[in-house]
Amino acid sequence: MIKVFVNGYGTIGKRVADAVSLQRDMEVSGVLKMKPDYIAASASTKYPLFTLSENVQAFRDAGLVARPMDKGIAESDIIIDCSPGGKGEGESTGVVNKRVYQNLGKKAIFQGGEKADIGISFVAQCNFEKAILADYVRVVSCNTTGLSRTLGALRGFGIERVLATMIRRGPDPADIKTGPVNAIVPETKVPSHHGPDVQTVIDIPIQTFAIIVPTTLMHLHTIAVDFKNDVSRDGVIGAFRKATRVRLVNSKSGIKSTAEVMELARELKRGRSDMYEIVVWEDSVNVKGKTLFYIQAVHQESDVVPENIDAVRAMFNLMGREQSIAETNRALGIAF
């Protein structure tokens, strides 16, 4: 059993911890929380709780037992770092988590909020083999994961160029501090950073735009792909059906928006109503000559969770790509 320490128990960290606990070849050795709040209290009922040494007394005063972080890391085989973006290398915060892990001789997985050079950028279906026996891996952001999964499924057709627009949710559902509340905010640095981030995973020509809208549910992507040769709609849909963690839906069945996608996740009885798959509207798939158009939705709270699990297996060379993906899907209830 691989002992996994989860540094940070927020939106992604708590989901990653629960996903690890469902696997047959790994276990949660501990989770780190900075404050003794209600989330820490909930975590303590499931996992060993850790915090910074200077915070141990505050946890004790709140009736919670939390050991110092260093002890948890030392007792673990790998750290999945789900702390706020920028703490991995510490440029914006002064905290250098990666150095702590290096000094203790531990492998680590970082999230998409870190710069690409912190480790191997990873999406399981696209470049699992590149992470085999690696010491440091970065599971890319929710948007980059979404683009990589569907575009990765289309590489066999010969991609010439991609143009995509990210229509991004404002805050996560539990966030009361982030907007916008009543505005559409363009990201005026164009092309946006998402295209270059995709290129750290798969080598394709891609340009992206991004705007932020006042919703908490999901991101939406509109995508146009030019191919070197003619493609058929049936061929594209077939590729999506075979793809790992891509789910086709149809507006004719009543799934016309991100609200219905999240209702589908509830009907599937997923933990926290998560939608791990990238959702593609089948009726949006349209081919004009050598150009493909389609629309997809990305559940920003959960789509990267399976990638973290597969990254652990790759880094310890526990099994091959297809076997790992199938095992993770089985544990998380991702069925086709």
Residues with a catalytic annotation lie at 142
Neighbours of 88 (CB within 10 A): 27
Q: How far apart are CA 202 and CA 195, in angstroms?
A: 10
Six token digits for residue 153: 């499924």
Dihedral (C-alpha) 304, 308, 311, 316: value to the nearest 10 degrees?
Answer: -170
Contacts of 207 (CB under 8 A, 6+ apart): 161, 162, 163, 164, 191, 195
Q: Which residue, 143, 88, 97, is CA-closest to 117?
A: 88
Q: How buried is 52 (Cβ within 10 angstroms: 0-12 exposed, 13-18 middle, 19+ buried)? A: middle
The strand pairing partners of 246, in sequence order, are 278
Q: How far apart are CA 101 and CA 6, in angstroms?
A: 12
Six token digits for residue 92: 């914006």
In this structure, the strands spanning 291-298 and 286-288 are antiparallel
Side-chain-side CA neighbours of residue 165 (13 Å): 11
Q: Which residue, 87, 69, 90, is CA-closest to 5?
A: 69
**AA identity, residue 223:** I
Long-range contacts of 198-203 (CB under 8 A, 24+ apart): 198/144, 198/147, 198/148, 198/151, 200/116, 200/121, 200/140, 201/121, 201/122, 201/123, 201/126, 201/127, 201/140, 201/144, 201/148, 201/152, 202/123, 202/126, 202/127, 202/148, 202/151, 202/152, 202/155
